[in-house]
Amino acid sequence: MTWLGNLERANQTSSILESIFNSVTDAIMLVDQQGVVIGANPAAERLTGYTVEELIGKIHFCEVCRGMATTTEEATCHNCFFHIPSVSSFQMAVKTKDGREFPVAASSTRLGAESDYSLVVILRDMSEQQRAEQERFRRMMTHYVIQAQEEERKRVSRDLHDGIGQALYSILVGLKVLNQLELDEAVKNHLHDVHQMTARALEEVKNMAVELRPSALDDLGLVPAIRSYSKRFEQTFGIVTQFEVSGHKRRVASVVETALYRICQEAMTNAAKYADTDKIQVRLHDSGDKIEMFIADYGRGFNTEQVQARGTGLGLYGMKERASLLGGTVDIQSVPGKGTTVHVTIPLNDKGEPLNVDPGSYRG
């Protein structure tokens, strides 16, 4: 190959390298032996907020770097990478032109003692990745908290039913036996009063156990649990409740049934407290690839935007959070004077498990 051919190849290589330098999404900064920036690509502009003209020859790298992260410190200048020939991967903090600081993944290499470009530093913005990781961790912890709460509810409910409930029932039986003996009328009246108080206490314990965690939800499934809750709801609040079921007749994952039951419970309780309605309609539809639930009242309604703006409505947030953890959604439509509809959708696989959720992350 002639020297012209070698020159042409060198020019092509140089053009490709220049294109890479200008096109990569990672910021590349060239720093001389005094620490002054002498080269930067467009990604460095986007990362730091400085233009190339503002960076080159005018900015010392230490004005951009806020220190390396170590196992003991978030940012330190101790043993700075600038004095090390090559560091393949580390984390450092960057300060932008407008004063913001955020973490970046970095690597550096020295091009040689004789080169003007004494150090090449490559920076990758980690703020979005860290936000995603923090959100993933938050969701995981929320999921574990909800699981732990449900397990504790189940334990306390069982203890109330099998412990205190059975003890009160035994007392009722004993009082009934005593009342059949030949006793003074005043004593019999007293036993009758004690019997009534004990019966009321037993009923309250049963109600508490059911409110904490209805056994029907675990033993029979979501549909019987909602039917049972609807009956108790009608007796407590005097609100007519219609419950309709359509689609597949199957049990879905326990975590899905629990979420739907709690969302239904919250929505109906909110309607009883605030809607001023005399009727609530609950519809459950399992289409195979998803399960949907609608809870509609015909009461006073509310302005959803105002509730969100005031930062209130923690019950609404809880409903959305439960569904979101299972890859689902909660859509709340409400019009003042016309009522509120809560629409819950949770995608399912053919086994009735939530999609996009690791089965190992929950106990079924």
pLDDT at 342 over 90: yes
Q: What is the mean pLDDT of the chain?
A: 81
- Distance in angstroms (rounded) separating the CA atoms of residues 275 and 269: 10
Quote the tokens at residue 229: 């809750």
Confidence of residue 312 (pLDDT cuts 50, 70, 90): very low
pLDDT score, position 71: 54
pLDDT at 297 over 50: yes
pLDDT at 75 over 70: no
What is the residue extent of each domain of the chain?
Answer: 3-125, 127-213, 220-364
Residues 6 or more apart from 1 whose CB is under 8 A from it?
A: 9
The answer to whether the beta carbons of residues 301 and 278 sit under 8 Å apart is no
Average pLDDT over every residue of 177-185: 79
Confidence of residue 325 (pLDDT cuts 50, 70, 90): confident
CATH architecture of 220-364: 2-Layer Sandwich (3.30)
pLDDT score, position 279: 92
Per-residue model confidence as pLDDT tens digits over 193-222: 888 888 888 778 777 777 778 888 888 999
pLDDT at 363 over 60: no
Which three-class secondary structure state does DSSP give residue 87?
A: strand
pLDDT score, position 313: 47
Which three-class secondary structure state does DSSP give residue 347?
A: strand
Asked if domains 3-125 and 220-364 share a fold, the reply is no
Per-residue model confidence as pLDDT tens digits over 111-138: 765 555 578 888 888 777 777 777 777 7
Per-residue model confidence as pLDDT tens digits over 142-168: 777 777 777 777 787 677 767 777 887
pLDDT score, position 310: 42
CATH architecture of 3-125: 2-Layer Sandwich (3.30)
Average pLDDT over every residue of 100-105: 86
The answer to whether the beta carbons of residues 90 and 65 sit under 8 Å apart is no
pLDDT score, position 281: 94
pLDDT score, position 216: 85
pLDDT at 226 over 90: yes
pLDDT score, position 208: 77
Per DSSP, 122 falls in state: E
Average pLDDT over every residue of 58-72: 79
- Distance in angstroms (rounded) separating the CA atoms of residues 344 and 37: 55
pLDDT at 242 over 90: yes
Residues 6 or more apart from 157 whose CB is under 8 A from it?
A: 208, 209, 210, 212, 213, 214, 215
Q: How close are the terminal C-alpha atoms of the chain, in Å?
A: 70
Q: 132 or 48: which carries more pLDDT confidence? A: 48
Q: 14 or 223: which carries more pLDDT confidence? A: 223
pLDDT score, position 306: 61
Give percent of the chain with pLDDT exceeding 90. 20
